[in-house]
Amino acid sequence: MTAIDTHAGPAPTHGGKVPRWARTRHAHHFRSHEEEFDACKLGMWLFLTTEVLLFSGLFCAYVIFRGKYPEAFANGSHYLDWRWGALNTIVLLISSYTIAMSIRNAQTNNQAALKFNLLFTVFCGALFLFIKFYFEYSVKWADGKRPGSLFAYPGASDPHEPIWWSIYYSATGIHASHVLIGMVLIFWVFIKATRGTYGPKHYTGVEVVGLYWHLVDLIWIFLFPLLYLIH
Amino acid sequence: MSHDEPQASHPTAHTSHPTVKVLDPDAHVANPAFDQSDPHGVHSGETHGHVIVSSRMLLSVLVILLVFTILTVFLSRAEGWIAEAFNTTLPNWLNVAVAMSIATVKAILVAMFFMQLKYDNKLYALIMGFCMLGVGIFIGATSQDLFTRDRIYRFKEGEIVAGGTGGDGLERRDKSPAADFDPYDPRTGKRKKDSINEPIWLFAKNDPTKPISAEALARIEASHHHHDEPVNSASRSRPMVGPRIFADPGHAGDGHGPEGEH
């Protein structure tokens, strides 16, 4: 019976210190690291489908109320400044690019670029939230353009305008909360990356968090024209 | 062993795709047998056969996405300019269709290249495709039902106003719709083409392109279920007026309520 030698690790190569990603062990109920990676990725894709269904409920509400009250929605979209929306779209697209690059950085063991790209993605998310809250939400809320029963804007020209604001705040608000969740997760991955957890052999965390962030970007790609551009 | 050189780029790792580089495909073994002496895979090679997308490909996808963003903003603004310049109004569905198709193209680019659906196991694309099918059924069926309700119920065709419009919408309940609806235009004597204004069940009944003979109509009427047995008020297709829980026994009333319940 062969002795199971669990204490031997790979031979030290980098000045005697083996990086953490090279020492990673897959969970014992998987037969290989690749199986673990594929299982994690499949799990994240399944979760993303539930997120898509969550937002499709909001999109369906938009379709329903837009069909019922077209004038209120045409009026409502004029209150939104498409320039802030376009800027937010550009910010999120760039953040998608940087997190895709960070996956590549992990695969090619470019640790410095990996950390920079992860941190830059978090920064883009923060910029998105800042633009949304400071230039859009706070201005509108102060004006009285609020959802549903909180509505207090005296210059409303259509009786169904509170419904437009309900759709606007709930759709963009739930999206913004997803941006915040994504930022927290990416920052957590960044902290782990500073300890050398990710490299060519093991980059599951970066991959999975990247998928989540891309979905957040996808949702905004649809929200932006629906709310800002269609009159 | 390959794990001693974690950055080894295999000299023969050239695929037909110049833009992607496969991480040491020769060492990749699909589903390696479980090695009892190495249960945690400490000694297994770090190559997974996963695709590394080139940075040039990622950058070009980003540039294309930004171009599409500029395009969609430009087209939505252009609709207003065209309307002013040519003194015409474009239909609203055009704006929606253009914006949504550009958004779909951007979404497909992000999904295929940034999320690497193009390079991965096709199962992930299948899962996402199935999810999109579900979303399509959800929004499509809801729209189809909601936006054609005015063809079924006349009283649903108006706008919903807080506080109601007076009346319970049931004034027509006992009136035959044919009594006050003339399917023929009195001016021209021709049949009205706008089926939106005509309840659809009546339109189907009076459709001159599908004439129905008297015998066929009699057969259909005979096969219909008639109220020779009491119908539970919950099954009635028309709303009842007033409470029916404690029906006055002397009241034959409008429904077949619980007569003689004691």
Helix and strand numbers (H, E) in chain A are: 7, 0
A96/B114 Cβ within 8 A: yes
| A contact residues 138-157, partner B, Cβ 8 Å cutoff | none
| Spatial distance between the Cα atoms of B208 and A97, rounded to a whole number of angstroms | 61
What region does B207 belong to: left with phi over 0, alpha with psi -120 to 50, or beta?
A: beta
B49/A45 Cβ within 8 A: no
Give the orientation angle of helix A82-107 with respect to helix A204-224, to 10 degrees.
160
Chain A contact present for B164, CB below 8 A = no
Chain A contact present for B141, CB below 8 A = no
| Spatial distance between the Cα atoms of A25 and A209, rounded to a whole number of angstroms | 20
Task: With cut-offs at 50, 70 and 90, classify the pLDDT of residue A112.
Answer: very high
B43/A11 Cβ within 8 A: no
- pLDDT tens per residue across span A3-23: 444 444 455 555 568 888 888
- pLDDT tens per residue across span A134-181: 999 999 999 889 998 888 888 887 888 899 999 999 999 999 999 999
Lowest-pLDDT choice from A182-196, A202-216, B17-31, B131-145 = B17-31
**What's chain A's length in residues?**
231
Phi, psi of A109 (to 5 degrees): 60, 40
| B contact residues 108-137, partner A, Cβ 8 Å cutoff | 110-111, 113-115, 120-121, 123-124, 127-128, 130-132, 134-135
Q: Are A145 and A136 in contact (CB under 8 A)?
A: no
Residue in chain A lying closest to B145 (CA): A64
Task: With cut-offs at 50, 70 and 90, classify the pLDDT of residue A225.
Answer: very high
List the pLDDT tens digit at each of the 262 positions of chain B: 444 444 444 444 444 555 666 555 444 445 455 555 556 666 555 445 578 888 899 999 999 999 999 999 999 888 878 888 888 777 878 888 999 999 999 999 999 999 989 888 899 999 999 999 999 999 999 999 888 876 666 555 555 666 665 555 555 444 554 456 666 777 877 766 554 455 555 656 666 666 777 888 788 777 765 555 555 555 555 555 555 555 555 444 444 444 444 4
User: Which one of B42, B95, B114 has the shortest CB-CB distance to A230?
Assistant: B95
| Spatial distance between the Cα atoms of B153 and B130, rounded to a whole number of angstroms | 34
For A218, B91, B166, B182, the CA distances from B197, given in Å and listed in that order, are 41, 22, 21, 10
For B98, B108, B122, B125, the CA distances from B112, given in Å and listed in that order, are 21, 6, 11, 9
For A76, A139, A225, the CA distances from A135, given in Å and listed in that order, are 17, 6, 19
For A97, B157, B192, the CA distances from B205, given in Å and listed in that order, are 59, 21, 14
Token look-up 């991480």 returns: B23
For every residue of A81-130, DSSP letters joined together read: -HHHHHHHHHHHHHHHHHHHHHHHHHHTT-HHHHHHHHHHHHHHHHHHHH
What region does B161 belong to: left with phi over 0, alpha with psi -120 to 50, or beta?
A: beta
B191 three-state secondary structure? strand
Classify strands B51-53 and B20-22 as parallel, antiparallel or unpaired: antiparallel
